[in-house]
A = this chain, B = another copy of it.
Amino acid sequence: MSGRLAIVGLGPGAPGLLAPDAAEALAAATDLVGYETYLARVAPRPEQRRHGSDNREELERARLALRLAAEGRRVAVVSSGDAGVFAMAAAVFEAVDQGEPAWRRLDIEVIPGITAMLAAAARVGAPLGHDFCCLSLSDNLKPWPVVLQRLEAAASADFVLALYNPISQARPWQLGQALQRLAAILPATTPVVFATAVSRPEERIEIVPLAEAAQAAADMRTVILVGSSQTRLLERGDGRRWVYTPRSCAGVPA
């Protein structure tokens, strides 16, 4: 039997948000490859080998998965959310591009999943109901000025923003600077959603105006949604609030 490689997004965390195709690929694998924290979310099977690794070794992890598949194993590479959004799928194709010619003949399948911004948006209403941009605040893989330039371009064109990888121990100041840059463009009242570990037991959601966003708590499990000029808060009967962006807009503010 020739090997195969499935690149699987686990969704935000709750088993109810994992699509059957993803569950099936995980069950069919002889080998699971991924960041330890994500592997821990997959129910163990005694006959399966697990190859856990540190969060930052994406390319090395991709190469390991490709080597195993080339040996004839059925490998599942595991990501949180959707594997194609700031996750392992791009790393695997980079490794194929730079690696053994034989890897191009492998049976590779990407199985999509529910990425964090979609789960976060659903939890608070419909903040992504109109045009939006999705970007990583990490400057590990791109220069920080590029991040700022993209934030500015997106906010100036009145896109809603979904910010991934907002902060980590090694990147403590970037989020503050990003919020400051956005505050120079967007109204102080712009709704900002900090959504952490959505659908998992430790879920935490905070909705704050942009002016107070720097005080909100974020960590590596947080995705941040920043509204556009059109994004609205809606008081619910129970004192909580929905956040939504109407489907229509009249124009881009000057």
Residues of chain A touching chain B, judged by Cβ–Cβ distance below 8 Å, are 11-12, 14-21, 24, 58, 82-86, 89-94, 96-97, 104-106, 108, 110-115, 118-119, 121-123, 125-136, 141-143, 145-146, 149-150, 153-154, 156-159, 232, 234-238, 242, 244-252
Contact between A244 and B89 (Cβ–Cβ < 8 Å)?
yes
Which B residues are CB-close (under 8 A) to A132?
Answer: 133-135
- How far apart are the CA atoms of A19 and B234 in the complex, in Å? 28
Contact between A146 and B251 (Cβ–Cβ < 8 Å)?
yes
Which one, B96, B122, B154, B242, contacts A154 given CB within 8 A? B154
Which one, B18, B24, B104, B146, contacts A20 given CB within 8 A? B18
Which B residues are CB-close (under 8 A) to A136?
Answer: 130-131
7 nearest A-B residue pairs (beta carbon): A90-B129, A105-B237, A16-B21, A153-B157, A89-B126, A141-B248, A93-B244
- How far apart are the CA atoms of A234 and B108 in the complex, in Å? 13
- How far apart are the CA atoms of A181 and B35 in the complex, in Å? 41
**At the interface, is chain A mostly helix, strand, loop or mixed?**
mixed
- How far apart are the CA atoms of A136 and B84 in the complex, in Å? 20
Contacts A115-B118, A122-B84, A157-B149; A248 near B19 (Cβ below 8 A): no
Which one, B16, B112, B123, B246, contacts A114 given CB within 8 A? B112
Which B residues are CB-close (under 8 A) to A235?
Answer: 104
Contacts A131-B134, A142-B248, A157-B149; A112 near B105 (Cβ below 8 A): no
Which B residues are CB-close (under 8 A) to A104?
Answer: 234-237
Residue on B nearest A14 in the bound complex, by CB: B21
Q: How far is the CB of A102 from chain B (nearest CB, A)?
A: 8
Which B residues are CB-close (under 8 A) to A90?
Answer: 126, 129-130, 244-247
- How far apart are the CA atoms of A24 and B14 in the complex, in Å? 14
Contacts A16-B24, A90-B244, A244-B89; A122 near B112 (Cβ below 8 A): yes
Which one, B16, B94, B247, contacts A141 given CB within 8 A? B247
Residue on B nearest A236 in the bound complex, by CB: B104
Residue on B nearest A115 in the bound complex, by CB: B118
Contact between A93 and B14 (Cβ–Cβ < 8 Å)?
no
